[in-house]
Structure 1
Amino acid sequence: MRTIVQKYGGTSVANTKLIKNVARRVIRAKEAGNRVVVVVSAMGHTTDELLSLAREITPCPPEREIAMLLATGEQVSIALLAMAIDAAGYPVVSLTGFQAGIETDSAYTKARILSIRSDRLQKELNDRKIVIVAGFQGINEAGEITTLGRGGSDATAVALAAALKADQCEIYTDVDGVYTADPRIVPKAHKLEFISYDEMLELASLGALVLQPRAVEFAKKYAVPLVIRSSFNDCEGTLVGEVKSVENGRLVSGIAHDLNVAKIGIFDVPDRPGIARHIFQALADEYINVDMIIQGWVRNDHNDIVFTVARDDLARVIPVVERVVKEIGASGFVYNDRVAKVSIVGAGMVTNPGVAAAMFKALAREGINIEMISTSEIKVSCVIQEDQAIKAVGALHAEFFG
């Protein structure tokens, strides 16, 4: 008997009518002879609403309590979905992250899954039940509730699929696959039939909101077959898989943009071994992810270092940078939280020169200034002013997809 894991995002379970629609899809999968595990997110904008409540209480709520608060959103969803399936006459059980055996590290609001004890899941599946699991949450070794960061339900679903050796993991969202750009801002964007794990990982980490990057990492590591499709229609979705199973003739596979970006510059950093480690270890100790890093030309044994972080983290970043500037003897720092990042991604870049030049040409044609550049074998990213991001995406899509 095949085992499949299905994940439904917040827009798919935004109200009771949609929850009943999801219940029908889940039952259809069960009736097809599958063992079914379902992961659901909180309803609609519940997570944002809970965060707003917390900030009405205090501008800096403790992260432990944020995790405790946000975990309630998914528990509402799993209970309601289980009720809908039970009302249709099918055996079902809902489980929290703890009950499903999801063990994480102790980064309360950005936790990583360390392991999954699947005994309870296997027991419920062997009893022929549909199993509904709360996404986005787990428990650390101290028994504290943790949450997995934005899009964490994706990671829950893929990790469960890996632990159960599922035949397929289906990610249901409000779009029917992975597109060459966000179809909400580029109407001519088209859906990809296939995309590689590496390309999907780059797109996800660069701002494409279809999948959480950690989920793609799990899928690649454990070779979990992923399908991205819509919960609102029966269209074929996008397969995410090994390179050998996807088309590799594309120069560029997609355009991504990210508005959740802030740029920090530290001036007159002493040019000696260990300074960069000191700066970025201090940020890592606060669980702050750093993206692009540029070190300037050395002059008088000093240089400038510029890097980007998520704009959401800026309030935590500034005190750390203020402290580090004093510790290392730098002259000061500045930040800009009105920037964005646009990127092109494609496995075809590896063997085709001139892709970066074409990107820069398209941006220059629109009068868009580039403030930072970062590259890998399969992507080029540029930091630009936030108010030019949408125009940049359109220009790049026209350049590479005509």
Structure 2
Amino acid sequence: MALIVQKYGGTSVGTVERIEAVAEKVIKFRQDGHDVVVVVSAMSGETNRLLGLASDVMERPDPRELDVLVSTGEQVTIALLSMALKKRGWDARSYTGGQVRILTDDSHGKARIQSIDGEKMKNDLNEGRVVVVAGFQGVDEAGNITTLGRGGSDTTGVALAAALGADECQIYTDVDGVYTTDPRVVEDARRLEKITFEEMLEMASLGSKVLQIRSVEFAGKYKVPLRVLSSFKEGPGTLITIDNEEDDSMEQPLISGIAFNRDEAKLTLVGVPDIPGVASRILGPVGDKNVEVDMIVQNIGQDGTTDFTFTVHRNEFEKAEEILQQICADLGAREVVGDNKIAKVSIVGVGMRSHAGVASTMFRCLAKENINIQMISTSEIKVSVVIDEKYLELAVRSLHSAFELAESE
């Protein structure tokens, strides 16, 4: 008998009819003799509705109260799914994140899981129950409700699988696996049979919306077998594995996928004194305000000054710009320049390690389309560029073709 943790996203539980369908799917696994723990998101659109209510009341809602509000979406889903299972004669029990003691830090809106008490769930499983847990949420040491950030139900699912020693964690969503890029942008994007944790981690961090980055980190760290599947059609999905060493290296694809992110913004501090420690004096206050910085470029100094550029998530642009204006005054820099109409495009693949010329192929492809590159960042298995947002889809399609990622005939 295997222990399976299944996570169902918002579209998978978007209506009562879909919740009933999830119940049927769960029952099939129980009938096959497997123990099942189910993690669910709020019904599709519900979190946005709750956020809208909050913004109607308060322009910048208090983070603690916002977490109390948005966590209610998952509570509705766990109760309805448990009812649907009970109606079909299968014992089920629902739990909020706090009730199963998913302990997090106190960073409201993007809390991190510190520990999970699995005893209640194990007892229920031993008694033959299906355990249904609210994703996206937990509690801090003081008992305050916290949330893990958008897509946090993926992290809940993988973390529960790790804590319970599950045989597999299955992430059910509205797509039937991980694709070479977003099929809505490139029609002939190909579903990958498997991808490494390392590649998936890069894809998730670079803008692929299939899985939340922390869920992939958890899965890789605790070696939780992870599979992405569709709630709406049968299929093998995509298996996320530790490595591809069992593959013949001759068959190893050069690039596994193209990730992109529209939600980028760029800030430049112009005329910064070119002295030791200046990067820390710029990025320290930004980090202290919990603003995550992505790509960083510092130009070669001229006349004792330099320009310092970094990117942030677009919804933190104004906050970061405000912080940077103060830093500008403190350092005696010339000015702050911002641009929130940029996008990041990245190519990812473990095959890069053993092949030269990947970056030059990418740059040549973009140059052919007259797309200007504003920033470049590289690692062993990825190359990322920042470009003007209006060229994003053209860049993705061109690169997908240049690296021959389409479904073969």
- Give how far 1:100 is off: 1.5
Superposition pairs of residues 265-344 of structure 1, within 5 angstroms: 265-344=268-347
Partner of 1:201: 201
Output the amino acid matched with 2:146: T
Shift in alpha-carbon separation, 1:262–1:187, aligned structure 2, 3 A: same
- Give how far 1:234 is off: 1.1
TM-score relative to the length of structure 2 = 0.96
Give the fraction of aligned pairs with identical amino acids, expressed as a percent: 50
Contact 2:347-2:383 within 8 A present in 1 as well:
yes
Aligned counterparts of 2:89 and 2:289: Cα–Cα separation in 1: 48
Superposition pairs of residues 212-223 of structure 1, within 5 angstroms: 212-223=212-223
Contact 1:344-1:379 within 8 A present in 2 as well:
yes
Output the amino acid matched with 1:267: V
- Give how far 1:32 is off: 1.2
Structure 1 residues without counterparts, runs of 5 or longer: none
Aligned counterparts of 2:283 and 2:40: Cα–Cα separation in 1: 35
Structure 2 residues without counterparts, runs of 5 or longer: none
Partner of 1:235: 235
TM-score relative to the length of structure 1 = 0.98
Shift in alpha-carbon separation, 1:3–1:347, aligned structure 2, 3 A: same
1:178 aligned onto 2:178: yes
- Give how far 1:244 is off: 4.0
- Give how far 1:327 is off: 2.3
Aligned counterparts of 2:138 and 2:275: Cα–Cα separation in 1: 42
1:262 aligned onto 2:265: yes
Secondary structure, in 3 states, of the residue corresponding to 1:13? coil
- Give how far 1:246 is off: 6.2
Aligned counterparts of 1:273 and 1:99: Cα–Cα separation in 2: 50
Number of residue pairs the alignment of both structures matches: 402
Contact 1:107-1:287 within 8 A present in 2 as well:
no
Partner of 2:403: 400
Partner of 2:123: 123
Alignment partner for residue 253 of structure 1, among 236, 252, 256?
256
Aligned counterparts of 2:337 and 2:74: Cα–Cα separation in 1: 39
Aligned counterparts of 2:310 and 2:358: Cα–Cα separation in 1: 24
Aligned counterparts of 1:24 and 1:8: Cα–Cα separation in 2: 13
- Give how far 1:300 is off: 2.3
- Give how far 1:245 is off: 5.7
- Give CA deviations for 1:97-124 in whole Å, capped at 9, x if unaligned: 0111111111100111111111111122
Secondary structure, in 3 states, of the residue corresponding to 2:240? strand
Contact 2:321-2:336 within 8 A present in 1 as well:
no
Aligned counterparts of 2:128 and 2:321: Cα–Cα separation in 1: 52
Aligned counterparts of 1:316 and 1:123: Cα–Cα separation in 2: 46
Output the amino acid matched with 1:159: A
- Give the alignment's Cα RMSD to 1 decimal: 1.2
Secondary structure, in 3 states, of the residue corresponding to 2:67? helix
Superposition pairs of residues 2-401 of structure 1, within 5 angstroms: 2-244=2-244, 247=247, 249-401=252-404
Secondary structure, in 3 states, of the residue corresponding to 1:281? helix
Output the amino acid matched with 1:390: E
Aligned counterparts of 1:373 and 1:219: Cα–Cα separation in 2: 29
- Give CA deviations for 1:56-102 in whole Å, capped at 9, x if unaligned: 22221111122111101111111111111111110001100011111
Aligned counterparts of 1:199 and 1:343: Cα–Cα separation in 2: 12
Aligned counterparts of 2:107 and 2:318: Cα–Cα separation in 1: 17
